[in-house]
Structure 1
């Protein structure tokens, strides 16, 4: 009986550990067939860590992210490569030991990035949804469900 319980726990853990497929700006297809959801975060942001924890434990949300959007997690303080996004080029702006990526500034509300931020962009580059701060999983699921 203990062995059966152990096997069931292991199987449950395997199914619940599904990883969300993350895209990078460089791996987006040339012709988009679904919207892009950009999650802007930093390593030092405690709310970003809460957001990640909430998302990791929600299998339904992970499935919606995989099926309905190109999901990009973007840390603008660490990503130093040039990004071509909807025909525009964006670069990292260094400020000594730190800096920020121009793309985060460009797509943020009032050109001032807040962490975490969520930006949903359709295949033509139009912003469909923008949120600064923690978003609960129910809201994300509702938003992603409406896309399909």
Structure 2
């Protein structure tokens, strides 16, 4: 229960004041659970991100399925959120529209980043999956089912 509360808190971090940046502490997530982390990177201006977010908000069952297999992190790709992992602190010192956070840039696999951007990483931040674009409910469920099967076969 503590892990769920911590993950929910991290995923829904809010500003206390405009002057204090948020911090996403990945150490806590990986210390409390061994589940992979599914990052959902999006922007305020991206039409497909808006569609993806609305689809996710409407389907509580899908959200529960995703959270059963993954630690899901909803991350504004242009925010000033600081990301802390091990001895690293990644800051977006000059957040601007159309300029991705340096943390997001770590996951680009082509010259440009397309949004929404889905990245699945294991507890060592090794990338398992990257997808740029809108994922349909069926596709998200297939990802969940694949990792459920993979987890069961490894036990």
2:118 aligned partner: 118
Equivalences for 1:30-109 in 2 at 5 Å?
30-31=30-31, 32-78=33-79, 80-85=80-85, 87-94=87-94, 98=97, 99-109=99-109
1:143 aligned partner: 143
Structure 1 residue 93, shift from structure 2 partner: 4.2
Q: Which runs of 5+ in 1 are unaligned?
A: 1-20
Contact map agreement 1:22 1:73 (CA 8 A) in 2: no
Residue by residue over 1:115-145, the C-alpha shift from the partner in whole angstroms, topping out at 9 and shown as x without a partner, is: 1110011122221111001111111111112
2:153 aligned partner: none
Residue by residue over 1:64-106, the C-alpha shift from the partner in whole angstroms, topping out at 9 and shown as x without a partner, is: 122111111111212x1321235433110427x5543110111
User: Quick one: structure 1 residues 86 and 107, their matched pair in 2 at CA, closer, same or farther if it must change by over 3 Å?
Assistant: farther
The number of aligned residues is 127
User: Quick one: structure 1 residues 138 and 111, their matched pair in 2 at CA, closer, same or farther if it must change by over 3 Å?
Assistant: same
Q: Which runs of 5+ in 2 are unaligned?
A: 1-7, 12-23, 149-155
